[in-house]
Structure 1
Amino acid sequence: MLNELLQVIFLLLLTSGRDPGIIPRNLHPPELEDDGSTISTDWLGSQNGGGGPTLPPTRDVVVNGMVVKVKYCHTCMLYRPPRCSHCSICNNCVERFDHHCPWVGQCIGKRNYRFFFMFVSSTTLLCIYVFSFCWVNIIKIMQKYHCDLWKAFMKSPVSGILILYTFVTVWFVGGLTAFHLYLILTNQTTYENFRYRYHRKMNPYNRGCGRNFVEIFFSKIPSSRNNFRAKVKVDSSSIFATPMSFVHSRRPEVPKRSFDIEMGKRQAVAAEDFDDIQSQLGSVGGLERSATQPRRTNWDHKANWQNTPDMHMLAAEYGIEHGLTDREKHRGDH
């Protein structure tokens, strides 16, 4: 049982750790050139209506004597090969894209599909193996101690837990194994089975059960198109062209007035702020003149808000400091 468990773990690592067949992105869109594929006549008609030339959304490619449309990927800036699709989770175009498996955290594609199927089928066999021999252990306990099934479970609770766990699990991994075995024999992918419904139309990739089986398990796995250990090449012109914009984008937005007060800088205040200050000064002066009896307050006249350094700074900025001093002198005379 230990060997089977190690085999399942090894296949899991192969499935999740391999490049599934990621197609490298282009730095620039491809040129309009004759590469053996044909362009849709509908797109040509729309281009004659005016505007600059753009890349057609699809191209027609002949596969086994049948015409197959390949789409242009705006993210990777390339025409996807047949059976290739863009994974929305990995954000990459993957050759022979089957699906993105959340349980292994990886796309399943051309370079790791056989290991995925072996992992799922080995897990199914392991569940059946554990389920069967746990029952054998329970039966031996019942024969040895001449007890019923419940007491046998009490004497070996681990066997009971494994029986319940494998019974539930085998339905999932077993169903997945059967479904992918059907896909292998008909040369389909999960994406194609749900998207194109080949049971209703001709599958251009189906070459018979035997050849399909050989293609999946005995064909040579292509080498990866990516060098994940290579150094990333960065365009130096783009780096030197945008340092200031990066600095400005990273600079936090600080309110103008608070920044000026904290840093001790004297900058211009908006016109509406100046009108605000004048109206506040006028309202305070009117209240002082209309007061018939002096009121005792906790504020000292010398510590009034009008005499704070910030207000003097703003008043001096707009030349109204003279008006403040005249008002103070007039208050002192009275």
Structure 2
Amino acid sequence: YLNDIRGLSWELEPIVALCFEVGVLLSLALFARTALMDPGRIPPKPRGSSGVEELMKALGPEHVGKLPDFNRLCTTTWIYKGLRTKYCTETHACIEEFDHYCIWLNCAIGKNNHRPFVLLAIVEAMTQLCQMYLIWATSSQLGESDTHVVQFVMNYPLLAMIFVAHIFTTPWVCVLVMHQLRLVATNMTTNEMINRYRYAHFWTESQSRGMGSFRNPFHRGVLRNCFSFWWARDRSVMVDVEAHCAGECCQHHS
């Protein structure tokens, strides 16, 4: 690309070529930042100030009637985890707002690096689409109209292989982008979406069946969810679901 079709790309599609080259640099920077920064790791608790002591305090007389959730005690790090803090078996640590473990970056995605991870996915998808377009546009200028594809493959096999690879990888990256943007809009994590049936705080209680309807206690509306993810960084603030539902009912009947 640098030696053969870079100049032609700038002549034919200067804006797309600029977006591609800027996208490559941004992708490398976001890749390094996401992979190297702390995802939100919580250090293990020392003896005497661990989650066990927190549970013992919660069982005191001043907390009568409010039993703590013993399932939130991590028996590996002895941390009394928050609702969105999960133990990552790959990194052997509790991660705040744990989303998932990324095998491509070899790191956990959590509170601190979730935002650059989503940016990386968006930039990577746009960069791949730009490169596919540039390869296709320049290939038509490098030979006769009827055989330009064959000539391009014969003369530039590496670029042809990259184009074929993008055909298979770009759709998956785009699906990842849509998946992550949907989670941002609904204020959920990948872990919560997959394991939502295991977490009681995502379900209303039903006297007849035990588990009622699904409700997201972190959902505050699409705009506020997006603002919380990209700027405020307070995604773990819970909404008073009962009061919120009551308010909507009052507005509906007024």
Contact 1:138-1:156 at 8 Å conserved across structures: no
Which one has a bigger Cα radius of gyration? 1
Residues 125-204 of structure 1: matches in 2 within 5 Å? 125-142=126-143, 145-148=144-147, 149-196=149-196, 201-204=214-217
Which of 25, 29, 32 aligns to 1:10? It is: 29
Q: Superposition pairs for residues 225-244 of structure 1, below 5 Å?
A: none
The code of the aligned residue for 2:137 comes to V
Alignment partners' CA distance in 2, 1:170 and 1:146: 27
How far has the Cα of 1:147 moved from its partner? 4.3
Structure 2 residue identity aligned to 1:213: C
1:81-139 deviations in whole A, cap 9, x for unaligned? 12110011111111000011111111100000000111111111111011111000112
Q: Classify the secondary structure of the residue corresponding to 1:182.
A: helix
State the match for 1:324 in structure 2: none
**Distance in structure 2 (CA, Å) of the matches to 1:109 and 1:163:** 32
Q: Distance in 1 between matches of 2:164 and 2:22?
A: 22
- The code of the aligned residue for 1:26 comes to K
Instruction: Tell me how far apart the structure 2 counterparts of residues 97 and 156 of structure 1 sit (CA, whole Å).
Output: 43
Tell me which amino acid in the other structure corresponds to 2:57: E
Residue 70 of structure 2 is aligned to residue 57 of structure 1: yes
The gaps in structure 2 that reach 5 residues or longer are: 1-19, 204-212, 235-254
> Residues of 2 paired with 1:139 and 1:79: CA distance?
61
Letter in 2 for 1:84: T
Runs of 4+ deviating beyond 6 Å: none
**Quick check: 1:123 aligned with 2:124?**
yes
Q: Is the 8 A contact 1:183 1:190 kept in 2?
A: yes
Bigger shift: residues 103-112 or 198-207:
198-207
Q: Is 1:218 the counterpart of 2:231 in the alignment?
A: yes
Contact 1:138 1:159 in 2 (8 A): no
| Cα deviations by residue, 1:170-228 (Å, 9 ceiling, x for unpaired) | 0221111111111111111000000015696000001111111111111259xxxxxxx
Per-residue CA distance 1:216-242 (angstroms, 9 max, x = gap): 111259xxxxxxxxxxxxxxxxxxxxx
Q: Give the structure 2 partner of residue 39 of structure 1.
A: 67
TM-score, with structure 1 as normaliser: 0.54
The two structures, once aligned, show a CA RMSD in angstroms of 2.2
Query: Is this contact kept in 2: 1:130–1:162, CA < 8 A?
Result: no
* Deviation (angstroms), 1:3: 2.3
Would the aligned equivalents of 1:135 and 1:159 in 2 still touch at CA under 8 Å? no
Residue 11 of structure 1: CA displacement? 0.2
- Paired AA for residue 73 in structure 2: Y
Tell me the residue number matched to 1:23: 42
Distance 1:164 1:180 in 2: 25
In the other structure, the counterpart of 1:73 is 74
Given the two structures, how large is their TM-score scaled by the length of structure 2?
A: 0.70
Pairing of 1:185-334 with structure 2 (within 5 A): 185-196=185-196, 201-220=214-233
Percent identity over paired residues: 24
SS, match of residue 232 in structure 2: coil
- Counterpart of 1:184, as a letter, is V
Residue 115 of structure 1: SS of its match in structure 2? Answer: helix
Secondary structure of the structure 1 residue equivalent to 2:140: helix
Q: Give the paired residue count.
A: 192
Tell which deviates more after alignment, 22-31 or 77-86. 22-31
Cα deviation, 1:20-58, whole Å, max 9, x if unaligned, reads 111121112342114997315xxxxxxxxxxxxxxx624
Structure 1 letter corresponding to 2:27:
V
